[in-house]
Structures are given as structure tokens and as C-alpha cells.
Amino acid sequence: MVRRPPRLTLFVSTGARAYSRPVHRRVLLRAMTALALAVPVGGCVESPSRRPPGGAPPTPQPATGAPGAAPASALPPLRGRPAPAKPFAVGVRDLALTRGADRPLPTTVWYPADGAPDGGTRPGAGVAPGRFPLVLLSHGLTGLPQALAPVAIRWAAAGFVVAAPAYPHTKYGAPRFDITDVANQPADASYVISEMLARDGREGDPFAGHLDTVAVAAAGHSAGAYTTTQMLSTQRDPRLRSAIVIAGGLLGGAYTGPVTPVLFVHGDADPTVSYRGGRAAYGAVPWPKAFLTMLGGDHGRYMARGGAGFQQMIETTTDFLRWSLYGDSRAKARLNGDGSSTGTSRWESAGLS
């Protein structure tokens, strides 16, 4: 009898419609294996052609707090303010970004918008008054930004600008799908961060004067989560103040750079990226960290509206961002309650107190 590898189903929301696309576990493992071979421990695999112009992170430094580590550059202080208490309406814009002829990066941006919230999105709406933190959100293999819309919309309603690029060679419908191109995605993500931050000072841009340029986080699911951990290790982006790793792990190398709190979210029955791998990546973090276990959770149904654990995942990740990007101590105090739900989720942390 031939045993088929487990499949991951990606849920992609487009308004009221949704569709799913299965991905074999073998495909993801092949990508991660190839990428691990390409990333030397403690090194960076970037070539000059992969660096984002004008915003490339410097050479990775040892992580603050790691044994024998040299001091790493500190991030500028947060503004230290309570996160918005009431939800915003959510606007959405599509940006035509590109990092060279072979690396188009069409990016969907969800953001707090003018007007009363109505549960939907408003294409092209004006940005709400104020300055908002930036979250770079990365999709998984054969994914699209729209697959992450249920999460991105909730974060935007809570007061965050969420930028989600479609990676050129791993997205759904890529003309030349290449699983090893995940190695190039951290530089793509850093480029998108640079482009978004530049818009804050660009006269006439819809986002001008609306971005808190010292409050930046990265988050990702599956291969996008590996993209995120690379941005904390072999291809460190020192602008990151925090990170969220959903159903992912760590490839070769060690975490580097300034202190960066990290939240892991992982189903303990994940058939695609092993729970043990997520735990190992969590254990290696030398900074304040937390782990939200989705009890009985697979590779991502808890990220879909109506999925088991969706509410716990949203509340926990949102309060983590409120604390780490706004400096909201009340949100930090809620984290244990957000993530602790009998039969659904379990919360643990180290160094957050």
C-alpha cells in the first residue's frame, strides 16, 4: 500500500468566498532541506543582487543575551503609549513593488482607515489619523496575501499597518515555482519594509505621516515563518522590534542582533511542520519569548475565521503586538489569559515578566 504524505490546506479568503489548495508535506520538507543546505551556520547567503537597495540590513551581529555575545545595537525607544482601545475601519491598498526584473513583489496593505468599522474592508480609503506600527506578513508555499486576510484585517482594525507581499517564486500561480527561493524572501521582506517606511516621509503618499517608523515587526506562516526566523538570524533585519512565527521553525544559524521578543504559534498535531521543530526554534531564542500551543491544532485551520482556536490566536497575537510595538503594559498583562483556554490553547513564556 502506498502511503500518501499529509496535505496542508491553505484557506484563502476573498470577501465572502474562500477556496483551498492542498500542499504536500513532502514539498515543504524538500524546500526546508534545500534551504538549510544553502544557509551556512552563522553565515548569510545573500548575494549583492538580493540586497534591497537603500534599506539593506547590515551584517548580522551576535544576539544580545546569548552566551559570549558581543553587545548588539539597541533599537530606538518606543513611544510608550496605550494601543487604541476601539477598533478601526479597515482600508486596503495594493502596491506594485518590485526588487529587480525577476522579483516583482505585489504587496497588499491593510491599515486603520477613516470612518466607522463595519467588519469589511474599504479599498483605497484614507488612513485614520495618527501613526501606526508596521507589521510585515509573509505567506507560505503556494500561498497569497489574501490567504492571511482574516488575520491581517483583525490586526489592522486594532491599529497596525499590515504589509503582505506575494513572493515571486513561491506564491500561488507563480510562473516559475521554486521552493528554494525561500532563501531570497528575507531580503524581499526587508525591501518591502524599507519601501513602506519611505512612504511615511513621501509627500502626497497615502501613508505619509501615518507610520511609526521605530515600531516594526515581522510575522509569517509556514514557509513565511521560516522567512521570519531568517530575518532574526542569518539575514537579520535590525529594525525588527518583535516577531510572530506561526507553524514554522529555524534553519541553520543562530538568532542575532538587538533584543527582539518572539511569539511562536504552533499546533501540536501539525502534520506539515513538526511541533518539535517549532519547540526547538523557540528554545534557541535568547530574548523574551512566548509559545502559544494550539491543542490538537494542525498547520493552520486556527488562522481561518470560524476555525477552532481562531479567537485565542487572534487575541494573543494582537495583544503581543500591542505590547511589543506600542509599549502597552495592559496588553502584556492580558497575554496569559488570552492564550490559556482549556482544550483549545496553552500559553507559556520566558523573560516577559
pLDDT, tens only, 103-135: 999 999 999 999 999 989 999 999 999 999 999
Return d(Cα 249, Cα 31) in angstroms, integer.
13
SS3 percent helix, strand, coil of the chain, rounded to 5, is 30, 25, 45
Q: Is the pLDDT of residue 89 over 60?
A: yes
For 152-186, write each residue's pLDDT tens digit. Answer: 999 999 999 999 999 999 999 999 999 999 999 99
Confidence of residue 74 (pLDDT cuts 50, 70, 90): confident
Q: What is the pLDDT of residue 45?
A: 29
pTM for the whole structure:
0.84
* pLDDT per position as a tens digit, 41-57: 333 323 323 333 333 33
What per-residue confidence (pLDDT) applies to 61?
39
* pLDDT band at residue 23 under the 50/70/90 scheme: very low
Under the banding of pLDDT at 50, 70 and 90, the label for residue 225 is: very high
Between the alpha carbon of residue 244 and those of residues 96, 220, 248, the distances in Å are 25, 7, 10
Q: Residues 289-344: pLDDT tens digits?
A: 999 999 999 999 999 999 999 999 999 999 999 999 999 999 999 999 999 999 99
Q: Per residue in 236-278, pLDDT tens? A: 999 999 999 999 999 889 999 999 999 999 999 999 999 999 9
Which domains are present in the chain? 22-38+81-350 (3.40.50.1820)
Tell me the CA distances in angstroms from 32 to 69, 217, 225, 289, one per residue in order.
Answer: 27, 23, 11, 23
The answer to whether the beta carbons of residues 287 and 256 sit under 8 Å apart is: no
